Structure 1
Protein backbone atom coordinates (compact mmCIF):
# COMPACT_ATOMS: atom_id res chain seq x y z
CA UNK A 1 0.00 0.00 0.00
CA UNK A 2 1.15 3.52 -0.75
CA UNK A 3 0.96 5.92 2.19
CA UNK A 4 1.64 9.64 2.44
CA UNK A 5 2.22 11.11 5.89
CA UNK A 6 1.59 14.86 6.05
CA UNK A 7 2.65 16.80 9.12
CA UNK A 8 1.78 20.27 10.32
CA UNK A 9 4.06 21.44 13.09
CA UNK A 10 5.06 24.53 14.99
CA UNK A 11 7.87 23.21 17.18
CA UNK A 12 8.85 20.06 15.27
CA UNK A 13 7.03 17.49 17.40
CA UNK A 14 4.54 16.58 14.66
CA UNK A 15 7.46 16.02 12.28
CA UNK A 16 9.09 13.62 14.76
CA UNK A 17 5.80 11.74 15.12
CA UNK A 18 5.41 11.59 11.32
CA UNK A 19 8.90 10.11 11.00
CA UNK A 20 8.17 7.56 13.75
CA UNK A 21 4.94 6.53 12.02
CA UNK A 22 6.82 6.14 8.73
CA UNK A 23 9.45 3.97 10.42
CA UNK A 24 6.76 1.79 11.97
CA UNK A 25 4.95 1.35 8.64
CA UNK A 26 8.12 0.82 6.59
CA UNK A 27 6.79 -2.36 4.96
CA UNK A 28 4.58 -0.05 2.89
CA UNK A 29 5.60 2.44 0.24
CA UNK A 30 5.61 5.51 2.49
CA UNK A 31 6.58 9.15 2.01
CA UNK A 32 6.60 11.99 4.56
CA UNK A 33 5.88 15.63 3.66
CA UNK A 34 5.65 18.90 5.52
CA UNK A 35 2.14 20.23 4.77
CA UNK A 36 3.65 23.61 3.98
CA UNK A 37 5.45 22.00 1.03
CA UNK A 38 2.65 19.73 -0.20
CA UNK A 39 0.42 20.75 -3.10
CA UNK A 40 -3.23 19.80 -2.55
CA UNK A 41 -3.43 18.61 -6.17
CA UNK A 42 -1.21 15.72 -5.02
CA UNK A 43 -3.97 14.36 -2.73
CA UNK A 44 -4.51 11.04 -4.43
CA UNK A 45 -7.41 8.67 -3.63
CA UNK A 46 -5.13 5.75 -4.60
CA UNK A 47 -2.91 6.61 -1.60
CA UNK A 48 -3.79 6.38 2.09
CA UNK A 49 -3.01 9.66 3.88
CA UNK A 50 -1.98 10.06 7.49
CA UNK A 51 -2.26 13.55 8.95
CA UNK A 52 -0.08 14.41 11.96
CA UNK A 53 -1.07 17.84 13.24
CA UNK A 54 -0.20 19.86 16.32
CA UNK A 55 -2.30 22.57 17.93
CA UNK A 56 -1.02 26.12 18.23
CA UNK A 57 -2.07 29.29 20.02
CA UNK A 58 -5.74 29.40 20.94
CA UNK A 59 -6.59 26.02 19.43
CA UNK A 60 -5.47 26.84 15.91
CA UNK A 61 -3.72 24.93 13.18
CA UNK A 62 0.05 25.27 13.31
CA UNK A 63 1.63 27.81 10.97
CA UNK A 64 3.08 24.99 8.86
CA UNK A 65 -0.39 23.58 8.14
CA UNK A 66 -2.14 26.84 7.32
CA UNK A 67 -1.17 27.07 3.60
CA UNK A 68 -2.35 23.50 2.99
CA UNK A 69 -5.76 24.05 4.58
CA UNK A 70 -6.14 27.54 3.07
CA UNK A 71 -5.60 25.97 -0.37
CA UNK A 72 -8.25 23.33 0.42
CA UNK A 73 -10.69 26.08 1.41
CA UNK A 74 -9.94 28.13 -1.69
CA UNK A 75 -10.15 25.29 -4.24
CA UNK A 76 -12.57 22.91 -2.47
CA UNK A 77 -11.48 19.73 -4.31
CA UNK A 78 -13.75 16.69 -4.26
CA UNK A 79 -12.07 14.32 -1.80
CA UNK A 80 -14.87 11.74 -1.82
CA UNK A 81 -12.54 8.80 -2.52
CA UNK A 82 -9.77 9.97 -0.14
CA UNK A 83 -9.14 7.80 2.93
CA UNK A 84 -7.13 9.25 5.82
CA UNK A 85 -6.22 8.93 9.50
CA UNK A 86 -5.33 11.66 12.01
CA UNK A 87 -2.82 11.87 14.84
CA UNK A 88 -3.33 15.09 16.77
CA UNK A 89 -1.05 16.74 19.30
CA UNK A 90 -2.09 19.04 22.09
CA UNK A 91 -1.87 19.78 25.78
CA UNK A 92 -4.80 19.14 28.11
CA UNK A 93 -3.75 22.15 30.22
CA UNK A 94 -5.72 24.01 27.54
CA UNK A 95 -8.92 22.03 28.05
CA UNK A 96 -11.11 24.21 25.80
CA UNK A 97 -8.72 23.90 22.87
CA UNK A 98 -7.08 20.53 23.57
CA UNK A 99 -6.04 18.87 20.33
CA UNK A 100 -8.05 21.26 18.15
CA UNK A 101 -5.42 21.25 15.38
CA UNK A 102 -6.04 17.58 14.57
CA UNK A 103 -9.79 18.02 14.93
CA UNK A 104 -9.79 21.00 12.55
CA UNK A 105 -7.73 19.01 10.03
CA UNK A 106 -10.13 16.05 10.18
CA UNK A 107 -13.18 18.29 9.88
CA UNK A 108 -11.79 20.12 6.84
CA UNK A 109 -10.97 16.88 5.02
CA UNK A 110 -14.31 15.23 5.81
CA UNK A 111 -16.18 18.39 4.76
CA UNK A 112 -14.71 17.85 1.29
CA UNK A 113 -15.77 14.20 1.24
CA UNK A 114 -12.72 12.47 2.72
CA UNK A 115 -13.31 9.50 5.02
CA UNK A 116 -11.43 9.26 8.29
CA UNK A 117 -10.42 5.72 9.26
CA UNK A 118 -9.03 4.29 12.47
CA UNK A 119 -8.98 5.95 15.86
CA UNK A 120 -8.31 9.68 15.93
CA UNK A 121 -5.19 9.76 18.11
CA UNK A 122 -4.90 12.64 20.59
CA UNK A 123 -1.51 12.97 22.24
CA UNK A 124 -1.41 14.97 25.46
CA UNK A 125 1.83 16.85 26.17
CA UNK A 126 0.87 16.95 29.87
CA UNK A 127 1.47 13.20 30.17
CA UNK A 128 4.75 11.33 30.31
CA UNK A 129 3.88 9.46 27.11
CA UNK A 130 6.37 10.36 24.40
CA UNK A 131 4.62 11.53 21.20
CA UNK A 132 6.78 9.45 18.84
CA UNK A 133 6.21 6.30 20.91
CA UNK A 134 2.47 6.92 20.90
CA UNK A 135 2.62 7.50 17.14
CA UNK A 136 4.35 4.17 16.58
CA UNK A 137 1.81 2.34 18.75
CA UNK A 138 -1.14 4.10 17.12
CA UNK A 139 0.11 3.35 13.60
CA UNK A 140 0.02 -0.38 14.41
CA UNK A 141 -3.73 -0.07 15.11
CA UNK A 142 -4.60 1.42 11.72
CA UNK A 143 -6.87 -0.92 9.71
CA UNK A 144 -4.56 -0.87 6.68
CA UNK A 145 -5.47 -4.39 5.50
CA UNK A 146 -9.16 -3.51 5.26
CA UNK A 147 -8.81 -0.14 3.53
CA UNK A 148 -10.23 0.02 0.03
CA UNK A 149 -8.66 2.80 -1.99
CA UNK A 150 -9.79 4.16 -5.34
CA UNK A 151 -8.68 1.90 -8.20
CA UNK A 152 -5.90 2.98 -10.50
Structure 2
Protein backbone atom coordinates (compact mmCIF):
# COMPACT_ATOMS: atom_id res chain seq x y z
CA UNK A 1 0.00 0.00 0.00
CA UNK A 2 1.25 3.47 -0.80
CA UNK A 3 1.28 5.74 2.25
CA UNK A 4 1.96 9.47 2.33
CA UNK A 5 3.21 10.56 5.75
CA UNK A 6 2.26 14.24 5.54
CA UNK A 7 3.51 16.43 8.36
CA UNK A 8 3.14 19.99 9.62
CA UNK A 9 5.63 21.02 12.27
CA UNK A 10 7.28 23.88 14.11
CA UNK A 11 9.45 22.03 16.63
CA UNK A 12 10.24 19.00 14.46
CA UNK A 13 8.15 16.46 16.39
CA UNK A 14 5.66 15.87 13.57
CA UNK A 15 8.61 15.38 11.22
CA UNK A 16 9.99 12.77 13.65
CA UNK A 17 6.67 10.94 13.40
CA UNK A 18 6.70 10.98 9.59
CA UNK A 19 10.26 9.68 9.37
CA UNK A 20 9.58 7.01 12.01
CA UNK A 21 6.62 5.86 9.90
CA UNK A 22 8.79 5.71 6.80
CA UNK A 23 11.37 3.62 8.64
CA UNK A 24 9.00 1.32 10.55
CA UNK A 25 6.14 0.54 8.19
CA UNK A 26 8.03 -2.04 6.19
CA UNK A 27 6.00 -3.76 3.53
CA UNK A 28 4.45 -0.43 2.51
CA UNK A 29 5.73 2.28 0.22
CA UNK A 30 5.95 5.28 2.56
CA UNK A 31 6.76 8.79 1.36
CA UNK A 32 7.32 11.55 3.95
CA UNK A 33 6.08 14.95 2.73
CA UNK A 34 6.43 18.24 4.56
CA UNK A 35 3.32 20.42 4.31
CA UNK A 36 5.76 23.22 3.49
CA UNK A 37 6.46 21.46 0.19
CA UNK A 38 2.92 20.28 -0.54
CA UNK A 39 0.30 21.78 -2.80
CA UNK A 40 -3.39 20.96 -2.61
CA UNK A 41 -3.01 18.37 -5.36
CA UNK A 42 -1.00 16.20 -2.94
CA UNK A 43 -4.39 14.83 -1.89
CA UNK A 44 -5.41 12.22 -4.41
CA UNK A 45 -7.40 9.00 -4.18
CA UNK A 46 -5.25 5.91 -3.83
CA UNK A 47 -2.62 6.45 -1.16
CA UNK A 48 -3.45 6.44 2.52
CA UNK A 49 -2.50 9.75 4.10
CA UNK A 50 -1.09 9.46 7.61
CA UNK A 51 -1.05 13.08 8.74
CA UNK A 52 0.99 14.26 11.72
CA UNK A 53 0.19 17.86 12.56
CA UNK A 54 1.41 19.91 15.49
CA UNK A 55 -0.34 22.76 17.21
CA UNK A 56 1.63 25.97 17.51
CA UNK A 57 1.28 28.85 19.92
CA UNK A 58 -2.24 29.35 21.22
CA UNK A 59 -3.94 26.72 19.08
CA UNK A 60 -2.73 27.66 15.60
CA UNK A 61 -1.42 25.49 12.81
CA UNK A 62 2.32 25.53 12.14
CA UNK A 63 3.20 28.25 9.62
CA UNK A 64 3.58 26.16 6.48
CA UNK A 65 0.68 23.90 7.45
CA UNK A 66 -1.42 27.08 7.63
CA UNK A 67 -0.51 27.90 4.02
CA UNK A 68 -1.70 24.47 2.82
CA UNK A 69 -4.82 24.75 4.97
CA UNK A 70 -5.62 28.19 3.51
CA UNK A 71 -5.03 26.97 -0.05
CA UNK A 72 -7.45 24.09 0.54
CA UNK A 73 -10.05 26.55 1.79
CA UNK A 74 -9.53 28.88 -1.19
CA UNK A 75 -9.45 26.20 -3.90
CA UNK A 76 -12.04 23.95 -2.27
CA UNK A 77 -11.04 20.75 -4.12
CA UNK A 78 -13.32 17.73 -4.05
CA UNK A 79 -11.45 15.19 -1.91
CA UNK A 80 -13.94 12.36 -2.33
CA UNK A 81 -12.05 9.08 -2.43
CA UNK A 82 -9.17 10.40 -0.30
CA UNK A 83 -8.56 8.41 2.90
CA UNK A 84 -6.53 9.79 5.77
CA UNK A 85 -5.78 9.33 9.44
CA UNK A 86 -4.82 12.13 11.81
CA UNK A 87 -2.16 12.30 14.53
CA UNK A 88 -2.10 15.49 16.59
CA UNK A 89 0.83 16.79 18.56
CA UNK A 90 0.28 19.32 21.30
CA UNK A 91 0.49 20.19 24.98
CA UNK A 92 -2.43 19.55 27.33
CA UNK A 93 -1.45 22.56 29.47
CA UNK A 94 -3.12 24.65 26.73
CA UNK A 95 -6.53 23.25 27.72
CA UNK A 96 -9.14 23.56 24.97
CA UNK A 97 -6.44 24.54 22.47
CA UNK A 98 -4.70 21.16 22.88
CA UNK A 99 -4.19 19.60 19.43
CA UNK A 100 -6.33 22.31 17.85
CA UNK A 101 -4.06 22.42 14.78
CA UNK A 102 -4.69 18.80 13.86
CA UNK A 103 -8.39 19.16 14.62
CA UNK A 104 -8.63 22.14 12.24
CA UNK A 105 -7.01 20.11 9.47
CA UNK A 106 -9.26 17.14 10.24
CA UNK A 107 -12.41 19.28 10.04
CA UNK A 108 -11.33 20.82 6.75
CA UNK A 109 -10.43 17.53 5.06
CA UNK A 110 -13.70 15.94 6.13
CA UNK A 111 -15.59 19.01 4.92
CA UNK A 112 -13.94 18.65 1.51
CA UNK A 113 -15.13 15.05 1.23
CA UNK A 114 -12.12 13.08 2.47
CA UNK A 115 -12.73 10.13 4.77
CA UNK A 116 -10.90 9.81 8.10
CA UNK A 117 -10.11 6.20 8.96
CA UNK A 118 -8.85 4.59 12.14
CA UNK A 119 -8.32 6.23 15.50
CA UNK A 120 -7.39 9.90 15.95
CA UNK A 121 -3.88 9.72 17.42
CA UNK A 122 -2.56 12.19 19.96
CA UNK A 123 0.77 13.06 21.50
CA UNK A 124 0.96 15.23 24.60
CA UNK A 125 4.29 16.99 25.01
CA UNK A 126 3.89 16.79 28.79
CA UNK A 127 3.82 12.98 28.66
CA UNK A 128 7.50 12.87 27.70
CA UNK A 129 6.67 9.96 25.38
CA UNK A 130 8.66 9.64 22.18
CA UNK A 131 6.43 11.09 19.43
CA UNK A 132 7.94 8.82 16.78
CA UNK A 133 7.29 5.61 18.71
CA UNK A 134 3.79 6.73 19.67
CA UNK A 135 3.12 7.67 16.03
CA UNK A 136 4.21 4.25 14.79
CA UNK A 137 1.93 2.53 17.32
CA UNK A 138 -0.95 4.74 16.13
CA UNK A 139 -0.20 4.03 12.46
CA UNK A 140 -0.25 0.29 13.08
CA UNK A 141 -3.66 0.69 14.77
CA UNK A 142 -4.90 2.62 11.72
CA UNK A 143 -3.63 -0.04 9.33
CA UNK A 144 -5.23 -2.79 11.41
CA UNK A 145 -8.53 -0.89 11.45
CA UNK A 146 -8.62 -0.76 7.64
CA UNK A 147 -7.34 -4.31 7.21
CA UNK A 148 -4.03 -3.38 5.61
- C-alpha spacing 1:147/1:82, structure 2 compared with 1 (3 Å): farther
Q: Secondary structure of 1:113's match?
A: coil
Does the Cα contact within 8 Å between 1:19 and 1:32 map onto a contact in 2?
yes
Give the TM-score of the pair, scaled to structure 2.
Answer: 0.94
Q: Hey, what does 1:20 align to over in structure 2?
A: 20
Spell out the pairing of 1:2-17 with structure 2 (5 A cutoff): 2-17=2-17
Runs of 4+ in 1 over 6 A off after TM superposition: none
The farther-off stretch of 19-28 and 78-87 is 19-28
Instruction: Name the Cα RMSD after superposition.
Output: 1.5
Displacement of 1:147 = 6.2
Distance 2:83 2:26 in 1: 19
- C-alpha spacing 1:11/1:125, structure 2 compared with 1 (3 Å): same
Q: Hey, what does 2:91 align to over in structure 1?
A: 91
Displacement of 1:144 = 5.5
Displacement of 1:145 = 7.4
Q: Hey, what does 2:43 align to over in structure 1?
A: 43
Structure 2 stretches of 5 or more lacking a match? none
Does the Cα contact within 8 Å between 2:2 and 2:47 map onto a contact in 1?
yes
Does the Cα contact within 8 Å between 1:5 and 1:50 map onto a contact in 2?
yes
Q: Hey, what does 2:100 align to over in structure 1?
A: 100
- C-alpha spacing 1:94/1:145, structure 2 compared with 1 (3 Å): closer
Structure 1 stretches of 5 or more lacking a match? none
How many equivalent pairs are there? 148
Structure with greater helix share of residues: 2
